[in-house]
């Protein structure tokens, strides 16, 4: 999966504009919404489509048409494409390319995480220059934040970004993410790692390219992450908006002063407006407008 990506025109020095800079511009222009493309069986069939590769293709390309040029970013969930094998991966590449052509950032939700040469291979697969690379990917840091170094370094080198899991809303996550070492939680240590990587961007007054994934429904636990202090230049991808219960008021309560850094992710609620392109686009725009700070 690895392109020239949306909004990634080079500057005068011939270098790609950093992902964080492009993300800030996209959020300012379109509102802080990351619309999901999650073609799981229930949603595909709710659109009156068969749960086959052809049905998923119709679903995904309709989403790409509806969201392209309309929202700050789009997050395809890789697993729902991978389940269809090589045909599904090829379709995912087409979706990313279509969004890139529309000038829309893509955050591919793949949650990769490993060590050494394996992590480097994952980085090459998704972040190296190619016609189908997303603008950013999600990563899992639970082999240690520094195990992600090959992906973080390659993302910086190619003007792409990563979003590292920090504090998720699933109940199973708490036993790991809230665990402490020397009084510091695992989640807080991930924030600190991202803050170090984003320090040059913070010095320039920019949003960094190493983001965090923090659930929109995790409540006041976010305050112990010090996102507005330590992670002030760190973008936050916040799943859970819409069908999972979080709205603008909840986002303000959860993220407080860090809210301008938050890219809110919504999938089921927006996708429920399909299968018509216009109603899907209108739902995304309404959600994005409601989320503006």
Please state, in angstroms and rounded to a whole number, the distance separating the CA atoms of residues 231 and 4: 28
Domains defined along the chain, listed by start? 19-291 (3.20.20.70)
pLDDT at 246: 74
Q: Which of 51, 53, 55, 111 is catalytic?
A: 111
Q: Within 10 Å of residue 27's Cβ, how many Cβ atoms?
A: 27
Residue pair 128/157 in contact (Cβ under 8 Å)? The answer is: no
Please state, in angstroms and rounded to a whole number, the distance separating the CA atoms of residues 152 and 130: 17
Residue pair 198/224 in contact (Cβ under 8 Å)? The answer is: no
Backbone phi, then psi, for 265, in 5-degree steps? -100, 130
pLDDT of 90-114, one tens digit each? 999 999 999 999 999 999 999 999 9
Q: Within 10 Å of residue 280's Cβ, how many Cβ atoms?
A: 23
pLDDT at 8: 43
Cα-based distances in Å from 184 to 143, 161, 188, 217, 291? 17, 26, 6, 22, 32
pLDDT at 123: 98
Percentages of the chain per state (helix, strand, coil), in multiples of 5: 50, 15, 35
pTM over 0.75: yes
pLDDT at 244: 63
75 is catalytic: no
Please state, in angstroms and rounded to a whole number, the distance separating the CA atoms of residues 281 and 276: 9
**Is the backbone peptide bond immediately before 275 cis, with ω within 30 degrees of 0?**
yes
Task: For the chain, list residues with pLDDT below 70.
Answer: 1-15, 242-245, 293
Tokens of 164: 């590292």
Q: What does the CA dihedral 256, 261, 263, 264 come to, rounded to 10 degrees? A: 0
Half-sphere exposure of 274 (CA within 13 A, CB side): 29
Please state, in angstroms and rounded to a whole number, the distance separating the CA atoms of residues 127 and 28: 25
Question: In terms of C-beta density within 10 A (0-12 exposed, 13-18 middle, 19 or more buried), how is residue 55 classed?
Answer: middle
């Amino acid at each position: 999966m690895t392109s020239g990506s949306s909004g990634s025109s080079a500057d005068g020095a011939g270098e790609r504009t950093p992902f964080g800079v492009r993300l800030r511009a996209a959020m300012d222009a379109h509102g802080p919404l990351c619309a999901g493309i999650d073609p799981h069986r229930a949603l595909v069939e709710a659109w009156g489509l068969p749960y086959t590769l052809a049905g998923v293709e119709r679903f995904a390309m309709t989403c790409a048409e509806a969201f392209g040029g309309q929202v700050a970013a789009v997050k395809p969930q890789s697993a729902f494409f991978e389940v269809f094998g090589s045909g599904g991966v090829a379709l995912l590449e087409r979706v990313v390319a279509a969004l890139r052509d529309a000038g829309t950032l893509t955050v591919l939700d793949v949650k990769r995480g490993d060590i050494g040469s394996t992590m480097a291979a994952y980085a090459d697969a998704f972040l190296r220059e190619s016609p189908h690379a997303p603008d950013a990917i999600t990563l899992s840091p639970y082999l240690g934040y520094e195990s992600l170094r090959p992906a973080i370094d390659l993302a910086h080198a190619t003007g792409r970004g990563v979003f590292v899991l920090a504090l998720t809303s699933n109940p199973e996550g708490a036993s790991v993410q809230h665990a402490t070492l020397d009084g510091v939680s695992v989640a807080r240590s991930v924030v600190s790692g991202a803050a170090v990587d984003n320090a040059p961007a913070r010095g320039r007054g920019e949003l960094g390219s190493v983001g965090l994934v923090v659930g929109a429904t995790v409540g006041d636990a976010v305050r112990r992450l010090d996102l507005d202090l330590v992670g002030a230049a760190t973008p936050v991808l916040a799943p859970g908006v819409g069908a999972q219960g979080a709205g603008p008021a909840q986002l303000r309560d959860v993220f407080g002063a860090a809210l301008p850094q938050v890219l809110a992710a919504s999938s089921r609620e927006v996708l429920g407006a399909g299968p018509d392109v216009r109603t899907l686009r209108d739902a995304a725009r309404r959600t994005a407008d409601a989320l503006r700070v």
